Amino acid sequence: MDVKIKSVFHYVGAGFTFGFFVSLAGLAFENSRHNIPLEHAFTSPVHFIMPLIMGLATGLLAFFYRKRRAEKVRVVNEYSKNLNSLLEVNYALISSIDLDVVLQVIVDKSVRLLSLDTGAIYLHENEKIYLGATTPPLPNEFPEALRFDLLENHPTIRKSIETKTAVSIYDAHEALLSEAEREIVKVRNLRSVLYIPLFIEQRSIGTLILGTTLSTRAFSDDETKLCSAFTSLSALAIENSRLYKRSKIIANELRKKNDEFLSLNELLNESNFRIQKINEDLRISKERAEESDRLKTSFLQNMSHEVRTPLNAIVGFAQLIAEPNRTNGKNRLFSDKIISGSDKLIGIITDVIEISQIQANQVQMKSAELNLIALINSIVNKYEKRAAEKEIAFVFRQNVPYKELIVKSDGEKLKKILSHLIHNALKFTQAGTVEIRCKLVDSELQISVSDTGIGISLEQQNIIFDPFRQVETGLIRSYGGNGIGLSLVKAYTELLNGSVSVKSRLGSGTTFDIALPLNIIEAKPDDKMLTSVEVDAPPFIVASAVDTILIVDDEYSNYLYLYELLQPTHIEILHASNGKQAVDICRTNNAVGLILMDIKMPIMDGATAAKLIREFRPSLPIIAQTAYTLEHEKLDNVKVFNDYIIKPINKYEFQQKMMVYVDR
């Protein structure tokens, strides 16, 4: 039997008993007043009905009173339970200020509060929502796009925000939802869902979503109110966490600003010293700028003089040769002077180009195997005649006990180092001796060039290796030069991983010491010191295997010069004035066996023409004739051409080059 029915019978029986005794007491009182016999007391039906009615009424009153009291107790207990839950949630929320932790606590506690299966919280910002926390964790198949989405794709969330009330869905499988909401219901397997907005001062900051997964259920008003109270606490906790996070950011920024201000203060404290240093640097810079201007002016004046001097000889003697009635002896003398002036002019131009290359950091090392002994002897022998002309004793002491010493190094730069030092020694020595010492210590070549010339002051020794520096300046100069030679010596020596030093005393001569580490490939011992002898070049008459040579040059004078040099070979000479003509000639004339190709020409340059010719005549030798003198430009040319020869073209070098390609 139902408990409530049992309770009703219990209270009615008790009431009936109570009513019966009350009626009995009433009858006894009446009998005593009216002298009615006791046996007549229960003869009337009223005497039985009244106790029954009174018992029933009393039992029902007692039942409803007890029920109402129990309901009040239940409500109080439920309220106490909810209050404890809210206090527990509040404690959990205030125990952490980390936003991620707070969000997870909100979700976990709300699910437990309503005894649900799942929960999630979305935060709102600028019409966008992003997932803050979930319980249980999201499955792997949860779409990444739904973690960050537009608010417009979730109309139920928007409805809860606009109405500022909780929105419940009894059965999500049958509800009218958006595509995004259906996807969430499907992945999370939701049935009944409750959407509760989170507000701070009429501003929406998020939505708490709670639900069941196994069965449907309705959410009561009390549950909704409880969740609303809970979400109010949650909204405050979220806002506090955000404010804390922002405050940390602001604090960090303030700390950085404070550090910056401290640094600025230090900088301000040092400003006086720095200003003084800047002023000192400005003074030094001004002096250096003035010195640089002076050096540039002096350099330009010297260069003008150095260039015009050989040009004067070239132009003057060329005009004299053109005059009639000159003897062959005179013309030969004039020709030698023209050649000497040309060599000097080429040397000046080469020095300027090389110092510019050094200052632009474009110097490249070109290593190759070479006979160091032969190289040094050839350079020394070159200056013996000049020393004899000045009546200066020229001494060469070689302490390298090898007939041949094959090393891997940059021969061109070794030549320039030794040539500049010997040239300077002869130039600044009017009488006395120039001595060159050469010895090998372990794997290091040590070269010393000494003279008994004018010497260098101690002040000048500190700057003598700087570009454009000269011992003499001004218009009254006893010695020529452009102030570049020693700069090249220092730069090339350091490029070869060597060192250079100077010892001198004004009026007592100068000694330059060079130390160069060597990469020795092969050494052949010899008891005798090797001497180099220059041999005159043989006549340029060869048994040619080439029938036709094509000269490609837009300057007719250059073509005419090469034509004259090739006349002794009796080879047919063709001329093209640009690269396009050269390509056309090679297509139609298979007799062409060698091409001398200029690089810079109109219509089509030499490199492009050579590439096109290679497509249909890959084995045809092509030699570049170029005015480009930088080492990296030489290497670029070799990639396209078989060989190269640099303008101005030396007759004997040209003939030696031709013997390689013509007499095959």
Q: Give per-residue pLDDT as tens, 166-178.
A: 888 888 888 888 8
Copy the structure tokens of residue 545.
Answer: 């295997």
Q: How confident is the model at residue 88 (pLDDT cuts 50, 70, 90)?
A: low
Mean pLDDT in residue range 186-211? 86
As a whole number of angstroms, the distance between CA 248 and CA 99 comes to 13
As a whole number of angstroms, the distance between CA 50 and CA 72 comes to 33
pLDDT at 588: 93
As a whole number of angstroms, the distance between CA 253 and CA 232 comes to 31
Q: How confident is the model at residue 622 (pLDDT cuts 50, 70, 90)?
A: very high
Q: Residue 648: is the preceding peptide bond cis (ω within 30°)?
A: yes
pLDDT at 55: 57
More confident residue, 486 or 585: 585
Q: Are 559 and 551 in contact (CB under 8 A)?
A: yes
pLDDT at 58: 61
Copy the structure tokens of residue 561.
Answer: 């010069």
Q: Nearest to residue 614, comparing CAs of 586, 578, 572, 576?
A: 586
Mean pLDDT in residue range 452-480? 65
pLDDT at 538: 43
The rounded mean pLDDT for the chain is 77
Q: How confident is the model at residue 294 (pLDDT cuts 50, 70, 90)?
A: low
Q: Kindly provide the b/e burial profile for residues 580-618, where b requires at least 16 CB atoms within 10 angstroms of the residue's own CB.
A: bbbbebbeeeeebbbbbbbbebeebebbebbebbeeebe
The bridge status of strand 193-200 relative to strand 203-211 is antiparallel
Tokens 């061109």 label which residue?
412
Mean pLDDT in residue range 455-474? 69
Q: Nearest to residue 481, comparing CAs of 500, 502, 467?
A: 467
pLDDT at 487: 83
More confident residue, 513 or 476: 513
pLDDT at 522: 80
Amino acid at 260: E
pLDDT reading at 635 higher than 50 = no
Q: Are 212 and 191 in contact (CB under 8 A)?
A: yes
Q: How confident is the model at residue 595 (pLDDT cuts 50, 70, 90)?
A: very high
Mean pLDDT in residue range 603-620? 92
pLDDT at 597: 93
Question: Can you list the positions of beta strands (E) in 203-358?
Answer: 203-211
E strand or H helix at 149: strand 148-150
pLDDT at 6: 55
Q: How confident is the model at residue 612 (pLDDT cuts 50, 70, 90)?
A: very high
More confident residue, 348 or 632: 348
Cα 58 from chain centroid? 96
pLDDT at 280: 85
pLDDT at 467: 66
DSSP codes joined into one string, 316-349: HHHHHHHSSS--HHHHHHHHHHHHHHHHHHHHHH
pLDDT reading at 326 higher than 50 = yes
The helix/strand/coil state of 534 is coil
Mean pLDDT in residue range 347-372? 76
As a whole number of angstroms, the distance between CA 4 and CA 9 comes to 9
Mean pLDDT in residue range 42-69? 59
Q: How confident is the model at residue 473 (pLDDT cuts 50, 70, 90)?
A: very low
Cα Rg of the chain (Å, integer): 56
Copy the structure tokens of residue 165.
Answer: 């009330």
pLDDT at 478: 43
Which of 307-316, 377-386, 611-620 shows the lowest mean pLDDT across its residues?
307-316
Mean pLDDT in residue range 347-351? 74
Sequence-separated (6 or more) residues with CB below 8 Å from residue 481: 302, 306, 424, 427, 470
pLDDT reading at 532 higher than 50 = no
pLDDT at 474: 41
Cα dist from 67 to 7, 55, 70, 75, whole Å = 10, 18, 5, 12
Which of 237-241, 411-415, 499-503, 656-660 shows the lowest mean pLDDT across its residues?
237-241
Which of 263-267, 488-492, 563-567 shows the lowest mean pLDDT across its residues?
263-267
Copy the structure tokens of residue 89.
Answer: 């949630």
Copy the structure tokens of residue 196.
Answer: 């509760």
pLDDT at 208: 87
As a whole number of angstroms, the distance between CA 273 and CA 253 comes to 30
Question: Can you list the positions of beta strands (E) in 46-138?
Answer: 118-125, 128-135
pLDDT at 286: 80
Mean pLDDT in residue range 386-392? 85
More confident residue, 45 or 498: 498
Q: Are 403 and 475 in contact (CB under 8 A)?
A: no
As a whole number of angstroms, the distance between CA 295 and CA 305 comes to 15
Q: Are 482 and 469 in contact (CB under 8 A)?
A: no
pLDDT reading at 129 higher than 80 = yes
Mean pLDDT in residue range 111-132? 85
As a whole number of angstroms, the distance between CA 25 and CA 41 comes to 11
Mean pLDDT in residue range 158-163? 87
Q: What is the pLDDT of residues 535-544, one digit of tens each?
A: 344 444 444 5
Q: Residue 136: is the preceding peptide bond cis (ω within 30°)?
A: yes
Mean pLDDT in residue range 75-95? 55
